[in-house]
Structure 1
């Protein structure tokens, strides 16, 4: 019997990992959930069980625990923390705050401090000889503004970042590297931009890619869009990432490694193709798509900065994130050769955007705009 301790279970990836792990009846799950009180905890637990369509028998293998990765001992009492360290065999740390405009102090609390607290549990489990493996979800964004392809390994070189999220996750990786070199059985997973299930398009929450869809179709900018004809974005379906994380947790081969769960240069998503497909599907749904006015990217940025002060507060908040989205239309390159080599022998096939983009957009439209 395995006992998995999971953070971020109510998030996009964490929930998919939960679903994947519950498929094995030998797995017991302890889910750390942030909640104000026990009533709020039970409400969030019921919501997750309903969202994942987990039956009663399977749900009995889940133990929901009220806590917080940003607090010492994960917000648990010393006794609760000690008992957890005795029984946990696997740790999957996927909790994260994906806001790009946090202050650096706040971003570090969510990434670095939280990672340090989860490591404390891992160290206790390792000392008790109960812990077998620890999986930590990072991001390919740790490469920041690095122009060269991001290598599949620890990265310590000085570099600039697009935002505080990238910087704080990079700093968290530095902490993990020290612990890995000391012997903790850690594997770091760097996914790219996560989208919905490769077959059904299902996703628990809509994240950056879905805002990009509204942006590049001109629905958020009255048809004025930057020239994205030669731009790509690295997207990866959530079910693929969840399967790899689950598999890795059972595989000592990945200890000490950094896995790139991304499309890579050859399979990156063409934003122009995504835009054309999205426009087609929006219109099939009977949704308005404005006539497009395409501007060179520098002109578009200048236009946004010029009109921002004159917009209503609510609109200003929406438009203010456009430069952040533009960062994700830059052609960043993430290598995944070594990771794919490791995974292919276990039957993993890298999903193709031409196959999963349709279901991903369809699910978004049906969930967001259904009458």
Structure 2
């Protein structure tokens, strides 16, 4: 029986690498679009996924089931040469589009090129496939922008404003995906909340989002003063660990009833900003003094070179200290029921995240672009 060939963008990235592991377990052949500058990283990661060091039964042979194709989603035809494009159009039956710029400080031009036009190019490729089973697209809960209130899976354009170009361009990308879905492209959309490291090991690819706070606290001599913007006691920070997101996508993507659905992969009981700060303070053994401070001056101060170098905190993070949106994922919970797949409580793995940061100071905050 011929293996189903899956085309995947976003390898060797954080989520893409973990998802390929699951697809191989489902006896899939995976064709990865890889930027030339990441070719070496992709080859190394692919070798780890199929290598003998995994200790698997020899009968479970993954070798020769990961194929790397050099290209770039920002280019027409994904930057593939004609022979590769034709080969893939004939072989591929399912597309997983994960590639994006996950960076709160991304410029408008880069966000448009990668998140918007890149997604349109992958959509064009998917539509060129003669027998496409499904277009699996990874969006983000933060297409919500600064929506004041509950944002559900059925919501998209609710007249929201946006914190940054990352949110705005991911929103525009999902608008394009939903338009093609409405025109008949068989599609499933996944909106993860803020993805942090594995809850069991702490493993992550880069330190951004909540990690800016962790890193800052670890650099202090047991005491730190932190700005406390209005709303910290009420505004939620919705984070989920990597394995939950990957497990959920793996499970949901295999369901026939997931076609046409939007799934928000979020924590149903997220901590508030104040609760998350307290949890990180305890895990880093740091006494924190909360200093009331308005958001605007705090962001401007963090934008100053000396302050930015001292704190290491991206100014855009401050917008999430008073983020007014709450996320619900009723359809995701319904379709995951009985699978055992659910996000663990943040408090159950916060120490694991912090310990990983302690042990891996070499990891940075730069996004793959």
Same fold (TM over 0.5): yes
- Contact in 1 for aligned 2:236/2:326 (Cα 8 Å): no
Number of residue pairs matched by the alignment = 350
Cα distance between partner residues in 2 of 1:149 and 1:218: 36
Match of 2:318 among 314, 318, 326: 326
State the TM-score, normalized to the length of structure 2: 0.85
Residue aligning to 1:358 = 351
Residue aligning to 2:98 = 94
- Contact in 2 for aligned 1:154/1:177 (Cα 8 Å): no
Q: Which runs of 5+ in 2 are unaligned?
A: 54-60, 364-369
How far the C-alpha of 1:317 sits from its partner, in A, is: 9.5
Which stretch of the first structure deviates more once superposed, 344-353 or 73-82?
Answer: 344-353
Cα distance between partner residues in 1 of 2:179 and 2:140: 18
Q: How does 1:170-209 map to 2 (within 5 A)?
A: 170-209=171-210
Residue 295 of structure 1 pairs with residue 315 of structure 2: no
Q: How does 1:46-57 map to 2 (within 5 A)?
A: 46-49=43-46, 54-55=51-52, 57=61
Match of 2:42 among 13, 35, 45: 45
Residue aligning to 1:62 = 66
Q: Which runs of 5+ in 1 are unaligned?
A: 284-288
Residue aligning to 1:339 = 332
Residue aligning to 2:263 = 259
Q: How does 1:125-136 map to 2 (within 5 A)?
A: 125=129, 128-129=130-131, 131-136=132-137
The structure that is helix-richer by fraction is 1
- Contact in 1 for aligned 2:147/2:161 (Cα 8 Å): yes
Secondary structure of the 1:90 match is strand
State the TM-score, normalized to the length of structure 1: 0.85
CA 1:135/1:100 → structure 2, altered by over 3 Å: closer, same or farther?
same
- Contact in 1 for aligned 2:4/2:28 (Cα 8 Å): yes
Secondary structure of the 1:259 match is strand
Task: State the Cα deviation string for residues 71-126 of structure 1 (Å, max 9, x = none).
Answer: 1111101221121111112111111111223332321111111111111121111x
Q: How does 1:1-371 map to 2 (within 5 A)?
A: 1-24=3-26, 26-36=27-37, 41=39, 43-49=40-46, 54-55=51-52, 57-125=61-129, 128-129=130-131, 131-215=132-216, 219=220, 223-227=224-228, 228-264=232-268, 267-283=269-285, 289=286, 292-298=288-294, 301-302=296-297, 305=300, 309=304, 311-312=305-306, 315=309, 318=312, 321-322=314-315, 324-331=316-323, 332-368=325-361
Secondary structure of the 1:98 match is coil
CA 1:359/1:164 → structure 2, altered by over 3 Å: closer, same or farther?
same
Provide the alpha-carbon RMSD of the alignment.
Answer: 2.8
